Amino acid sequence: MRPKVIWLQGVTCNGNSHSFVNLPDIEDCLRRYDWLYHPVLPSSCTLDELSDKECDILVLEGGLKPGWRKGEFDLEKLFLRLAKRAKKVVAVGSCAVYGGVFREYDENITGVLFSGAQKTKHYKSLAQKTVNIPGCPAHPEWIAFALDAERVKLDTYNRPKELYAYTVHSGCMRNEYFEWKVDAEQFGTKEGCLYYRQGCQGPFTHGSCNKILWNETASKTRVGTPCFGCTEPDFPKRDLFATKTYMGIPATMPLGVPKRAYLTITGIAKSFHIPRLHKRLFDED
C-alpha cells in the first residue's frame, strides 16, 4: 500500500508546489504515494471530498488564518480535522512553518506550530507528528526527504537535523573570501564574500543550500546573491541586499561566534593581503 498524501494550500503564493515539481525524479516520487489531493498535480479527490478522508501524510503549504475560506471550507478547520487523523504532518515552506511573508501583512496568519518564533495553540497537539521544512520556497529535495522520512531527528523548530543542522555558509564556495575577509564589491561576481556588505545571512541561517544544490547546479551564494535567511523564524527581514552594521561591524555574528572572538580573528585576517583573493578568478574577464 502506498502512503496516502493530501497536500493542502493555506495562504500561499504556490511557490512550494512549483519548487516540488522541479524535483529531478518527480515522477518516481509521485509514484511512491497515493495522491488523494494536490492542487496542481493529478490526484484522485477534489477538495470537496476531503473532509471524511484519512491520509498518512498531510502536507500544508502556506499559512493558516482563522476563518479563512477555501471554496466552501474553513481551511484551518479542514486542516485540523485531517491533521488529527494523519500519521505525519509536513509543513512545507516558511509560511506553513512560521507564517512567513504573509504574516508580515497580517499577524493572524501563522504556521502550524509557530508564529514567527512563538509556539501556536496547535503546538501541543501536533508537534509530535509535524516535520517542518521552512524555506522560501523549500528545496524540492527537502520536501521529498520529509515525505519519505520516518523517525527523523528534529531541532527546536521541528526541522530535520539532516537538512538544517548545517548553516547555508557550510559548503559556500566563497569561504576563502570569508576567512580572509575579502568583500564582494557587487552582486553576481564569482569573487568576494557577501556577508560583510551585501547582506548575506548564510553564516547564521540553518539550511543545506550549499550541500544539496538548487537545480542540482548552484545556490544563491554560489551565483553571487546573498542568502536571505528564509529558513529562520525572523524571515523576512528588511533591506535584504545590505548588511546591517553598527560602526562597520556586522549586527549579526556567524552562528555561535562571540563578537570578541569574531573581531579578533577578522582583524588579524584582514591584516594580511592575499593577492590571489583580490584578483578576478578568470583573468580574461
Residues near another protein, by CB under 8 A:
245-249, 251, 259-260, 263-264, 267-268, 270-272
- In the complex, least distance from residue 249 CB atom to another protein, rounded to whole angstroms: 4
Q: Taking every pair of C-alpha atoms in the chain, what is the biggest distance, in angstroms? A: 67
215 or 264: whose CB is closer to another protein? 264
- In the complex, least distance from residue 245 CB atom to another protein, rounded to whole angstroms: 8
Q: If you ran DSSP here, which 8-state letter would residue 253 be given? A: P
1 or 251: whose CB is closer to another protein? 251
- In the complex, least distance from residue 240 CB atom to another protein, rounded to whole angstroms: 19
Strand partners, 59: 7, 90
Contact 109, 96 (CB under 8 A): no
What number of CA atoms fall less than 13 Å from residue 91's CA on the CB side? 37
Contact 55, 86 (CB under 8 A): yes
Residue from 62, 60, 54 nearest 3 by CA? 54
- In the complex, least distance from residue 104 CB atom to another protein, rounded to whole angstroms: 24
151 or 260: whose CB is closer to another protein? 260
71 or 256: whose CB is closer to another protein? 256
- In the complex, least distance from residue 258 CB atom to another protein, rounded to whole angstroms: 10
Phi, psi of 248 (to 5 degrees): 85, 0
- In the complex, least distance from residue 241 CB atom to another protein, rounded to whole angstroms: 18
Contact 221, 210 (CB under 8 A): yes
Contact 172, 178 (CB under 8 A): yes
The residue with cell 503546538 is: 123
